[in-house]
Structure 1
Amino acid sequence: MKCLSFPTKLSVFLFQRDSSESNDKTRKANYKTNDASRLSLDVVIRKIPVIKANFFFQDFEWELFGQPLPVKQKNAYLHMVIEYTIMRRDPSIKAGILDLKRKGHKTESAFCKVLEIPGDPYDALIEYGKVEGII
């Protein structure tokens, strides 16, 4: 087991899961250190188990997100590839995306709003990347 400590006093434990009952109980806990820091161990997103740690550091919100998938199959990686390609194709949309992010939008939501892509921004951006031949 490894432990990572963050300035918010949030500790993230990285461990290999086994099927024992005691590990299952530990895995299902959500650890909240304060209003701005949270470790979630029993999260399933799009049918894939994940581990998430959310915290603020130097006035910036961070989210550590792990899935049992190779990096190039993870949606977060695919989103970055798609967003990078979109920005290279049309740099003029950067100001609009940054404005929405300053107003609290997540990156995927900001891209979809600027590009007028309807639906769930996480799924829609992946679909857009497929249709546009980016991924």
Structure 2
Amino acid sequence: MIDFTNLNYLKTGNKKQKRAYEVLEKYKVFEKLKVYSPVLAGTIPIEIDIENSDLDIICEIDLQFEEGFLDDIRSSRLIPTDAEVKVENIMINGEKSMVLNFMLEEIQVEIFGQNKPSLEQNAYRHMLAEYRILQEQGEEFKHKIIELKKQGIKTEPAFGLLMELENPYEDLLKF
């Protein structure tokens, strides 16, 4: 099992993973977000990304003090001054969440924060379950997931289709 809490696995991964590692290191993203317990999740770590996949960085953020988080992001110069930043406050499964989207060079970055430990957030837990399933199901299954994603189907629903899951967002958490 890959230790997804340590970015070193990206250094020996595929081309996109290596590039992601270079950009994350160049901008010191995880160093600047350290107090928020960042972890990379999503499709790039488990190699089911498609051309427009972004880097999903999960953080633990006390959303009562979201302005403090945004101030930390600004003062750390994590985001280039000329970058367009989109900030959203949303509810996911009844939990307040914050999403920041911006570009670092050619890579779309999404910082996702909830008021719970990063490793307990569903995005990370889904990725672990998906990784285990990919390891069990093999390359053909992996290629089917990627093809569904290219057709515009999101990751969890793609797994749900191939595995006949009734509610993939909930059912994947059981793996």
Compute the TM-score of the two structures, normalised by the length of structure 2: 0.49
- Change over 3 Å in CA distance of 1:98–1:44 after alignment to 2: same
Q: After TM superposition, which residue ranges in structure 1, 4 or more long, deviate above 4 angstroms?
A: none
- Aligned residue in 1 for 2:87: 39
The answer to whether 1:67 aligns with 2:67 is no
- Compute the displacement of 1:55 (Å): 4.7
RMSD, matched Cα: 2.3
- Aligned residue in 1 for 2:79: 5
- Aligned residue in 2 for 1:94: 142
- Compute the displacement of 1:64 (Å): 2.3
| CA deviations over 1:44-97 (Å, ceiling 9, x no partner) | 211221111235663x65432111111221101110110010011111311110
Count of aligned residue pairs for this structure pair: 99
- Aligned residue in 2 for 1:54: 101
Aligned partner of 1:74: which letter?
Answer: Q
Tell which structure's C-alpha radius of gyration is larger.
Answer: 1
- 3-state SS in 2 of match to 1:104: coil
Compute the TM-score of the two structures, normalised by the length of structure 1: 0.62
Q: Kindly, what percent of the aligned residue pairs are identical?
A: 32
- Bigger RCO of structures 1 and 2 (CA < 8 A, at least 6 apart): 2
- Aligned residue in 1 for 2:124: 77
Could you tell me whether the CA contact under 8 Å between 1:8 and 1:55 is conserved in 2? no
- 3-state SS in 2 of match to 1:105: coil
Structure number having the greater strand percentage: 1
Unaligned runs of at least 5 residues, structure 1? 12-37
Unaligned runs of at least 5 residues, structure 2? 1-70
- Change over 3 Å in CA distance of 1:109–1:56 after alignment to 2: farther
- Aligned residue in 2 for 1:21: none
Task: Work out the CA distance in 2 between the residues paired with 1:50 and 1:89.
Answer: 32
